[in-house]
Structure 1
Amino acid sequence: MTDAHENHWAAPVAAAALDARVRVPGSKSITNRAYVLAALAGAPTRVRVPLDSRDTRLMLGALASLGARSEETADGFLVYPLGTTGSSHGEPVEVTLGNAGTVARFTPALAALGDSPVLFDGDEAIRRRPIGPLLAALRRLGVRIDDDGRGAPPFTVHGDGGVRGGTVDLDSSASSQFLSALLLAGPAFDRGVTVRLVGDAPPSEPHIAMTLDMLHRFGATVEREGAEFHVAPAKLSCPEYVVEPDLSTAAPFVAAAVAAGGTVRVAGWPSTTTQPGDWLRSFLPALGASVRLEDGGLAVTGGSRIPGVELDLHEVGELTPVVAALLCFADGPSVISGVAHLRGHETDRITALATELSALGGDVSETDDGLRITPAPLHGGVFRTYDDHRLVMAAAVLGLRVPGIHVENPATVGKTFPAFVETWTGMLGSGQ
């Protein structure tokens, strides 16, 4: 997996047009939402074919700390409701966040339903990721939180046995997860929750749609009128939930067909979905690719050239690293906009992409809310990944056409796709 550079991966070059079929793991976004809703349900939920990765294990660990145990099954996990691991009788509890944004944002409200003080902390990177607006909203809904004014981990939630709920204003412009966190927990609040969005629109409308859809599937009553959302108190139930493949994790594989030529098929691509990654299906033809939804999944065949484009990726920001890497091979300038919120992800993805792509010879510069990419000859070198799984995937796309790219810390893909490197090299082997 690594080469002579310690802790680096020599990204393989595509020696021929691709002809491969790949299978990606379950969606992280869906998996962790399903686990949270299962913990709030009235009976156990069998979550089938979920993502098994660092982030999802951290979520299961957090829920276990809060009183919702789980059992591994042949094809997933059986998740029991909160309260099934016994009572802590007010004793302090700790939740380990790692660098998982969904865990940091989705579980504090659940902690308030118990009767113990719960300390939330994780990796140094999670302490830099925004969460202050969510903590402020939870306080206004009756949750006691101590954070010494940081608006970030570490912080302690004092469980009072329930949450009053009600109506609250929320600025979710830094992350749609703030809104999703309140909506997911809303059915367990005494008065439910009504969230009125203030400030700029949240990024990633598809993730909001995903949250609403999953709440419906677990039996919640959800209403939306413009920027106002209401979730009524409810007893949730979903005996079985099947997780879709992660379409954002599929991004580098379909991009590979565009970058290297040939055809890549992604198994199990759904015909309808709320996942942001499905945007690729409508976007790739603009880059000259042929895209076909078949019975077995999605087939993408690269074209003869990649034109420069102007893209507003506000709703699908997590695809930015792979898209930016692909556009380095375009035959004209490109602009990516609408992704200022990426500065608060696992790393400042805008600065990281501009820095690393430029270090390999690219003409890539930052804008206030994105990147400007002008084609230039690329060369090999070390591509730093900043402990960010999406940057590993972007570097892999570059390596298809640029010899000598050494990807720092490829193991960070364990956040969402532990077998990424093996699957990537297998894809190339199929086409050579």
Structure 2
Amino acid sequence: MGTPTSTDNRGAVTARIPGSKSITNRVLLLAAAAAGTTRLDDPLESEDTVAFRKALTDLGVEVTVGQGSWEVRGTGRGPSGPARIWCADAGTAARFLPVLAATGEGEFVFEGSAQLTARPLGPLVEALAELGAGVEPGAGGGLPLRIDARGLSGGELRLDSSTSSQYLTGLLLSAPLMRQPLTVSAAGLVSRPYIAMTVALMRTFGAKVAEVAEVPPVAPAASAASAASAAGSSGGTVRVEPGGYVGTRIRIEPDASTASYFFAAAALTGTRVTVPHLGRDSLQGDLRFVEVLAKAGAQVEIEADSTAVTGVGPLRGGFEVDMGDISDTFMTLAAIAPLADGPITIRGIGHARLKESDRIAAVSGNLRALGVRVEDGPDWITIHPGRPAAATVACHRDHRIAMAFSVLGLRVPGITLDDPGCVGKTFPGFHEELRRLFGEQAVSTAS
């Protein structure tokens, strides 16, 4: 944040991308569980991260908010109840924090918005019960979730991870606070790079984590695809030793999922967009989205501490791509795909139907409303070349739908959003930044 704009006669710009939501919320929990104080530099300030931070304070953790940094005074143990925790729309809060609470003592009740209450928690509920917590889910199997905490035993678990990697992440993050080692076999694991991120951050805080070959190690963006491919599709097993965490200082890198919209905008408009501090050693698998843009004809440069994408001609289509490991960016590709010179098929994204919205249905419906030919199935979508017409995009209260179609709006005049404010979940300043870089081409934010 705060990086000045740079432009030249080739249309080169530097995008100001806020901190990673995924890293910010993981580090918040790790800092809370650690002994000592942790400083987060450049954390993301958004609806989801503020909700997560507030939830931690409701669990008794002291967080001091400064200019461009947060300090967390860790407890070194699980929290004490009773406490009632509001998760708002934050799926990470609903899936990570109940495990932390269960490592403590007392009664905890987790609640959230109607949208979050509709999202599943079944595998996590079953795992917590097996580890020794008293767990009472709501009528739909999710929130409101009541935890009767008396510490967690650890042991061996088999976890259904076919719909979300967040269940596994939630268990791993709090595993060092359990009484015995925790070994989790994650069946059908999706979104594998997020587990690599989680493990790397746990090790930064001093945890002892052992992985078997099925879970890919943290890999630079340029080689992450091959690592995930080599891992196979059966799942993975992770073992975490007890022993707690130690506080540290960590800088939060820019959010790669958010950067995808600006990289796609570069490919679409013939601009060069650079994102500083997001380079080849990034913890985020979603940086691999630039590899997909390269397949679509863009020029991509991944340096040690930055990534740049340049649009060098019409988008190329006529290919299929599996985006299961980077499904938060599939909507970015799908939204701009109508302007490619051939059809684009995206596969491996069935779990995206269980996010803030049914994202496959939401993308398909909006593209059809714009006059684009689309076919879709349980875990795939095909977008054909077309001439999108002006229409109002139904955001479904989903920040990623709003941001993805805003990129298409740079080339299709008259696209508007029915809920432009939903971007506040991860990037409250998104529309302003898009307008700063691309001027009047940016979509109208009038509802």
Instruction: Give the TM-score normalised by the residue count of structure 1.
Output: 0.91
Q: Deviations over 1:313-358 (max 9, x none)?
A: 1100000111101211111111111000001000000000000111
For the 8 Å contact 1:257–1:264, the answer to whether it is kept is: yes
The one-letter code sitting in structure 2 at the alignment partner of 1:320 is F
Shift of 1:83: 7.8
1:347 and 2:357 correspond: yes
Q: Retained in 2: the 8 A contact 1:190–1:233? A: yes
Question: 5 Å matches for 1:33-432?
Answer: 33-82=26-75, 90=81, 92-147=82-137, 150-160=140-150, 162-198=151-187, 201-225=188-212, 226=214, 227-294=236-303, 297-308=306-317, 309-429=319-439
How far apart, CA to CA, are the structure 2 residues paired with 1:399 and 1:256? 10
CA contact (8 A) 2:83 2:107 kept: yes
Q: Is there any run of 5+ residues in structure 2 with no aligned partner, and where?
A: 1-8, 215-235, 443-447
Q: Given that residues 263 and 290 in structure 2 are in contact (C-alpha distance below 8 angstroms), is that contact kept between their aligned partners in structure 1?
A: no
**Is contact 2:299-2:311 (8 Å) kept?**
yes
Q: Which moved more, 1:339-348 or 1:360-369?
A: 360-369
Give 1:202 deviation, angstroms.
1.6
One-letter amino acid matched to 1:346: E
**Letter of the 2:156 counterpart:** T
- The corresponding residue for 2:228 is none
Going from structure 1 to structure 2, the CA distance change for 1:294 and 1:167 (only over 3 Å counts) comes to: closer
**CA RMSD, 1 decimal:** 2.0
The alignment-based identity, stated in percent, is 38
- The answer to whether structure 1 residue 32 and structure 2 residue 25 are counterparts is yes
How far apart are the structure 1 equivalents of 2:40 and 2:303?
26
Deviation at 1:73? 2.1
Q: How many residues align?
A: 411
Cα contact 1:144–1:157 (8 A) shared by 2: yes
Work out which structure has the larger RCO, using CA pairs closer than 8 Å and 6 or more positions apart in sequence: 1
**Residue 149 (structure 1) shift:** 5.9
Partner of 1:4: none
User: In 2, Cα distance between the equivalents of 1:381 and 1:178?
Assistant: 37
Q: Is the alpha carbon distance of 1:363 and 1:335 closer, same or farther for their aligned partners in structure 2, counting shifts above 3 Å?
A: same
Whether the 8 Å contact between 2:36 and 2:76 is mirrored in structure 1 is no
d(CA) in 2 for partners of 1:408 and 1:382?
6
1:208 match: secondary structure? helix
Partners of 2:189 and 2:76 lie apart in 1 by 33
Which whole-Å deviations, capped at 9, do the CAs of 1:67-102 have from their partners, x for residues lacking one? 2120012321101123899x86x5x32111111111
CA distance in 2, matches of 1:294, 1:113: 41
Q: Deviations over 1:154-180 (max 9, x none)?
A: 1101122x2112111110111001111
Q: Give the C-alpha shift of residue 232 in structure 1.
A: 0.3
- The code of the aligned residue for 1:204 comes to S
Q: Is the Cα contact below 8 Å between 2:35 and 2:76 reproduced in 1?
A: no
Decide which moves more: 104-113 or 260-269.
Answer: 260-269
Matched-pair contact (CA < 8 Å) for 1:66–1:110: no
Q: What residue is the counterpart of 1:13 in the other structure?
A: none
Note the alpha carbon deviations across 1:348-379, whole angstroms, 9 max, x for none. Answer: 00000000111011111221202111112110
